[in-house]
């Protein structure tokens, strides 16, 4: 079956993209396990919350997102210029993702939740630093 022109890609690209995990990626699982071992309980991909956070610590109203660098537009102004294949499609797709992330954060804040985002490579490189940032939010939730 041929993909629509806006999503025309090579077999290699389709194969690579089919391996992208939407849930339970390595970085997300690493962060979740560390939180669990520290005694923090959470829900994964809680659909009751805007954006279905990767990890939701209900007791402290903290919504944690582990974002893929490409999909969520890390260094977007630079990266956008480098896109070559399906340029218009990817620019539209990623800019929609960025706008949705902003909207979801706003909705979560309106519900009294604190959203926090980490880049997946940041978690893999410095999981303990990410845990420290989450623990600071937990401490802050006790002070409120």
Tens of pLDDT along 112-131? 999 999 999 999 999 999 99
4: pLDDT strictly greater than 50: no
Q: Quote the pTM value.
A: 0.82
Residue 124, both tokens = 């893999």
Which position has the higher pLDDT, 14 or 82? 82
Calpha distance 115→119 (Å, rounded): 14
Which pLDDT tens digit goes with each residue over 102-111? 999 999 999 9
Q: How distant, in Å, are the alpha carbons of 19, 25, 64, 116 from that of 29?
A: 17, 6, 12, 16
How far is Cα 92 from Cα 9, in angstroms, rounded to an integer? 16
pLDDT of residue 15: 57
More confident residue, 45 or 10: 45
- pLDDT tens digit sequence for 23-75: 678 999 999 999 999 999 999 999 999 999 999 999 999 999 999 998 999 98
Percentage, residues of the chain above pLDDT 70: 83
Average pLDDT of 1-27? Answer: 56
């Amino acid at each position: 079956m041929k993909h629509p022109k806006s999503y025309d890609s090579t077999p290699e690209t389709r194969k690579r993209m089919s391996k992208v995990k939407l849930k339970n990626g390595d970085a997300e699982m690493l962060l979740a396990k560390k939180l669990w071992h520290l005694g923090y309980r959470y829900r994964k991909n809680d659909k009751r919350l805007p954006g279905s956070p990767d990890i939701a610590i209900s007791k402290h109203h903290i919504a944690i997102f582990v974002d893929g660098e490409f999909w969520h537009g890390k260094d977007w102004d630079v990266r956008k210029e480098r896109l070559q294949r399906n340029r218009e499609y990817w620019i539209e797709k990623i800019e929609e993702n960025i706008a949705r992330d902003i909207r979801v954060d706003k909705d979560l804040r309106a519900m009294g939740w604190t959203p926090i985002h980490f880049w997946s490579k940041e978690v893999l490189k410095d999981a303990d630093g990410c845990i420290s940032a989450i623990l600071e939010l937990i401490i802050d939730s006790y002070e409120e």
